[in-house]
Amino acid sequence: MKNVFFIALLACLYSNSFYAQEDLLNELEQEAEETHFQQPAFKAMKIGNLQSTKVAGKGDLYMYVSHRFGTLKDGLTTFFGFDNANTKIQLVYGVLDGVQVSASRESLRKTYAVSAKARFLSQSGKMPFTLAGYTTVNINTELRKERFPFLKFEDRLSYAGQLLISRRVNNSISLELAPTYIRQNLVLEPQQEHDQYAIGVGGRVKLSKRMSINLDYVYHLNRYENSIYSNPLTFGLDIETGGHVFQLLFSNAQSTNEPGFISNAEGDWGDGNVYFGFNIVRVF
């Protein structure tokens, strides 16, 4: 009788231990699923003109070649803007995991720029969004003392800082919000404040494994009331081809630099003053 009781007790203890281990494994698996990081919200480092939360991987080198042709409104006179191209060449390097730096030169206003982007949070089961920060310094070398006799070096500088917040809603849709600060040491309109604020929004809708439609818009919060410039609106199509991402774009801004396209978008969708362009992205 004692032997039967002892065997029953061992069986009971073994059973409880087995289920306790099983519960612990289930909890660990559930926790692993909750901390699993989602795929990036965007394939390229830009949605269209607006920066995305994508950051170069450590040791990766990217080359961006961007073209923004002249306005389509000129028609055959400039072959729909192809005679008046703005070209930008940019190199981006991932210095650390989640940190990149870049240098570029844009032909519009002969602008040189350096920038940095860092990812602070990544979307996962426990984190509902990805958070990154972006900053850039631009140097306008086109300015001449003949027009501005008291021109100083710092007058050539403009700055931008952005907080980038994105969420991959599902396998097809990604969204982003981008509070933005712009500083222009020399404004093109005397009535415009040097310190400027804006809010950008962008999104991506996946069409297939290699194609998506992108859109971004930036609302300038303290633009001069009678300014000749507009809020930039950009539509694009992303095509992924192996190591390349090819972006076709239509925008009312010809510049690709943040102080340029956010503060000084020359075009207007309402009257057809729109620029066609593209970005070619290659990773090495």
Q: Domain limits of the chain? A: 37-283
Nearest to 268 by CA among 109, 67, 72: 72
Task: State mean pLDDT over 167-191.
Answer: 95
| pTM attached to this predicted model | 0.84
- Which residue pairs from 104-107 have beta carbons closer than 8 angstroms and sit at least 24 positions apart in sequence? 104/64, 104/257, 106/66, 106/255, 106/256, 106/257, 106/260
Please report which confidence band the pLDDT of residue 26 belongs to, taking 50, 70 and 90 as the band edges: low
Asked whether the predicted pLDDT for residue 127 surpasses 60, the reply is: yes
Instruction: Decide yes or no: CATH 3.40.50.2300 for domain 37-283.
Output: no
Task: Tell me what the mean pLDDT of segment 169-179 comes to.
Answer: 96
pLDDT of 144: 82
Per-residue confidence (pLDDT) for residue 64, from 0 to 100: 93
* Of the listed ranges 31-40, 67-76, 128-137, 202-211, the one predicted with least confidence: 31-40
Give percent above pLDDT 90 in the chain: 68
